[in-house]
Chains A and B, each alone.
Chain A
Amino acid sequence: MSLAVQVVFTGLSAGGVYGLIAIGHSLIYRLTGIAHFGLGDLIALGAFITLFVAAGTQPLTQETVSGGRMALAIVAGVVACVVVGAAGYFAVVQPYIGRSAIGWVAATLALGFAIHAVLDAAFSRPAYVFPDPIPFRRVGNDGLVEILGAQIHVRSFAVIGVAVAVAAISSWVLQRTWFGRSLRAIADDPDGAAIVGISVERTRALAFGLAGGMAAIAVVVAAPGTPFETGTGALLGLKGLVAAVLVRFAGLWTAFAAGLALGVVEAALGTGLLGHLPGLASYRELIPLLVAIVLLAFRPLRMREAAE
């Protein structure tokens, strides 16, 4: 029982981040019909800009930074995501949408690897410890609380809470605001949206950046729990893509739920909750990936492909 509780909380906290990235992938696919292979690296950019503003590139000396500076740092990270994401969209992705698949595939990959390489050059240590936005250490028993016999990190609650909050805000924006309605109009019919006066490309570009920025917030909250590498972003982007593929780039909450589920499944496989098969834990990342490939190949088409 305590193991199950442990798995659920660890999984949900990882899954919250996957879920937000899955939302980003899903949104981008529905808006433009492409997959963004550099999204994970864009998220890493947001996280590292936040780290840079909060603490510089040196090893961390204090455990937490002041609330004001941390808030400023998070804003800077999100703004960096939006600016770089949108600029990248305009400069190299947009010209190839609908024209050359190899063009946009190469463009999004190149954006990702370029960001990754810049981060690698600027942050040359193998791994970084992020400052905590909230001093979790002081809550409970050195940052841990006991629930049904399981020791749970207080941070897990914060990560899950922030992820749900960001998803809820995104959902609200999508449903209630002019920007959100523009997004949905473009997803339904880009030409129609352009006719009624929506600036399709500007909206798409903004969405490209925001997709990275909103995931970066959750990453920043989650990051202090473990050492964070410049390559972690790419791996997170992959997990988000797997979650999005599992639900065929579905709507916002479905994609988010897929991310949560992926996190829990990974945690369950990793901790041997599903029986102690020898070496099963090493397959925890491989199995969802394999399932996603098989589903991608053998499930019937959906949405715009079905119309052809």
Chain B
Amino acid sequence: MSTPAVAAIRTGAALREALASARETWSETATAGGVIVAGALLAPLVLGGLIATDTLASGAYLALAATGLALCVGLAGVPSLAQGAFVGTGAFAAAHVLRHTQLPAEVCALIGALAAAGLGTAAGFAVRSLDAVRVAVGTWLLAWLVALALGVLPWLSGGAQGLVVPTRRLFGFSPTPLVHYELAVVLTGLCALALVALRRGPLGLDLAAAAQHRGAAAALGVPMERLRVGAFAASAFVGGLAGGFVVQLDIVADPTAYGPLLSFELLVAVLVGGAAAALGPSAGVVVLGLIALAARALGALAGVAGSRFQPMLEALLLLAVLTTGGSALIPAVSTAARRFLPRRRSRARPAAASAPKRRELLRGEGLAKHFGAVPAVDGVSLELAPGSITALVGPNGSGKTTLLRLLSGALPPDQGRIELGSRDVTTATPALRVRLGLVRTLQTRSYFGELTVLEHALVGTNRTRRHGGAVRALVSTPLYRAENRIAEAHAFAALEGVGLAADASRPASELTGAEQQRLMIAAALATNPAVLLLDEPSAGASSADLDRLEAILLRLKAEGLAMLLVEHNLRLLRAVADEILELELGRVVHHARNVRL
């Protein structure tokens, strides 16, 4: 057969497969979303007499910017208060390019979006490892910085009257408000689709895990800092795109339009509509639009401009949503709708399959860590061989957990080196160590409250993925889908290993404490480790739980895993440990070999 024919057959097969997988993941929600977007496209015909089309168009661009913000707030769980600044950056960058070049309108908007993405990347990098308070403060200061800069730098903003922007054709159409409106709705729909694709994919799981329990996500090697920078960059890009087009609709770039109030309004839209739902931000913008109408009516009654009442009503609405503790609009509607719709059949469970095992030796030499003048770990050397369990015992404060953190990379050692196999990993990040096959579990009971049991294990499998990037998830390439199936099979295998396969679709918050401990072991196993560091896995375990844990550890040992076990329970230690290291004040005071013999 000729090559083009083979290619055609292959393409056909790939398309059929893509169609089948699309049909499989299609749901009532997706139908509803499609209907809503289609309805939005037709809205100007219906509302034509009621609301001016250019008002609708700026509202639609607001929805686009809000959907972009949902990437940060909903997907990554980061309180970003700078979205208005990103929109403004896009608007003014696009305005300058429009004024000084003859580039097409779309290219200018894209340049605006890229400028905003640049600022977003810088902001994301600055806050990549900060806690929520400082992220909020930092982004709030950024929102003010951009607003004040536009206010006081005439070369940037064109002074008080702003920059007048030349109009050009948009995708071949004359740039009427209607064309802007349709474009904004299409872009918002695409952005919402991207949100859905990302949320379902490995990146979405990683982000959800990081948002719900930072420590546990870090232990599983989720590259949180990189994800956060990416979330900021992407949300700024979308915001900047909205800004780049909206100046062309307004014909002028107004320096007062992109202040902290805009950031606040976008946040209100996201929170009122629902940060986690793809169309939530758009619904929130619709609510804001209704508020603007109400404000105008109120203003007419009171004899003042309606715009005075708008922020008040918005703030009151948000306060009402917050005080009632009620869920946002879209989640509330979809929960109500679910009651009336038939429950979807859960998909067929894939056969569990494990990945080929990796076997490595972990060696730590002369490890030391001081906190101030206090030596927490003081010259400890140890070797974890494949197929063995080394127990680490000692009184509280003897340095057991610190040693574990040094080995896993959560803390840098002051002295000493760590080798995994033949590779020096002393300075490797925790995320890299997990990919290389060195993973730990946390001492405290820690899980990702809003994820299901299967999703926990999938967070683990994400570390072994090679085709799980954002772009692949967005276009759902064949490689990406194939890897999804493999990842699910591996996740199921890990759950089976700890006896939780039957609970795969339950929320992790419903499990008992001991089951949650085993779940985190399963998530760690799903990273396909060579070396597993366990911090008190028996905490809160009943006698039956202990038996199960013992069986799991013995099986993992038989499979050739190298394990370090920090444990107080002597019964468990006696049953599984090959070597016992006793720590006191950071030093090894006793080393028992071959305790099983």
Contacts and interface: CB of A to CB of B under 8 A. Distances in A.
Interface of A: 29, 33-35, 37, 91-92, 95-96, 101-103, 105-107, 109-114, 116-118, 120-121, 124, 234, 238, 241-242, 245, 279, 282-283, 285-286, 289-290, 292-294, 296-298, 305, 308
Given A113-B314, A234-B260, 14 more contacts: A35-B137, A92-B322, A95-B322, A101-B133, A102-B132, A105-B132, A110-B268, A110-B315, A114-B315, A118-B312, A283-B152, A286-B149, A296-B138, A297-B126
A92 B311 CA distance: 17
A246 to B, nearest CB: 11
Nearest to B316: A114
A297 B127 CA distance: 6
Interface in B306-350: 308-316, 318-319, 322-323, 325
Interface in B439-473: none
Contact of A110 (B149, B310, B318, B325): B318
24 contacts: A35-B136, A35-B137, A91-B319, A91-B323, A96-B322, A101-B79, A101-B135, A105-B79, A107-B322, A110-B319, A111-B315, A111-B319, A113-B314, A114-B319, A117-B313, A118-B312, A121-B312, A241-B141, A245-B137, A279-B153, A292-B141, A296-B141, A298-B126, A305-B131
Contact of A102 (B79, B215, B302, B319): B79
Which 4 pairs across A and B sit closest by C-beta, in order of nearness?
A: A117-B312, A101-B132, A297-B126, A114-B315
B491 interface: no
A284 to B, nearest CB: 9
**Chain B facing A: main interface SS:** helix
B153 A296 contact: no
In the complex, which of the residues B126, B127, B271, B311 has the most CB atoms of chain A within 10 Å of its own CB atom?
A: B311
B145 A293 contact: yes
Contacts of A293: 126, 138, 141-142, 145
B148 interface: yes
Given A92-B323, A282-B152, A121 B309 contact: yes
B267 interface: yes
A116 B142 CA distance: 20
Nearest to A25: B137
A11 to B, nearest CB: 18
Contacts of B81: 37, 105, 109
A195 B275 CA distance: 37
B141 A297 contact: no
Give the residue among A34, A37, A101, A290 with the most B Cβ atoms within 10 A: A101
Interface in B267-305: 267-268, 271, 275, 302, 304
A107 B268 CA distance: 10
B271 A296 contact: no
Contact of A106 (B149, B215, B318, B325): B318
A245 B144 CA distance: 15
A33 B325 contact: no
Nearest to B214: A308
Contacts of A107: 319, 322
A99 B126 CA distance: 24
Contacts of A92: 319, 322-323
Given A102-B275, A105-B79, A117 B133 contact: no
Most buried by B among A114, A124, A242: A114
Contacts of A296: 126, 130, 134, 137-138, 141
A117 B316 CA distance: 10
B75 to A, nearest CB: 12
Contact of A29 (B133, B316, B318): B133
A218 B312 CA distance: 27
Contacts of A111: 315, 319
Contacts of A110: 264, 268, 315-316, 318-319, 322
Contact of A285 (B140, B152, B268, B314): B152
A304 B20 CA distance: 51
Nearest to B134: A296
B312 A101 contact: no
Contacts of A238: 141, 144
Nearest to A239: B144
A92 B271 CA distance: 14
Nearest to A282: B152
A282 to B, nearest CB: 4
Nearest to A304: B131
Nearest to A108: B136
B311 A117 contact: yes
A117 B308 contact: yes
A106 B322 contact: yes
Nearest to A118: B312
A122 to B, nearest CB: 10
Nearest to B275: A102
B311 A113 contact: yes
Contacts of A285: 148, 152
Contact of B133 (A34, A120, A308): A34
B541 interface: no
Contacts of B133: 29, 33-35, 101
A286 B79 contact: no
B145 A289 contact: yes
Given A282-B152, A290-B145, A294-B126, A121 B308 contact: yes
A286 B144 CA distance: 9
A43 to B, nearest CB: 16
B77 interface: yes
Contacts of B135: 101
A234 to B, nearest CB: 7
Contacts of B136: 35, 37, 101, 105
Interface string B113-143: 0000000000000110011111111101110
A33 B81 CA distance: 18
B152 A286 contact: yes
A117 B141 contact: no
B281 to A, nearest CB: 14
A112 B324 CA distance: 19
A44 B135 CA distance: 25
Q: Which of A96, A117, A120 has the most CB of B within 10 A?
A: A117
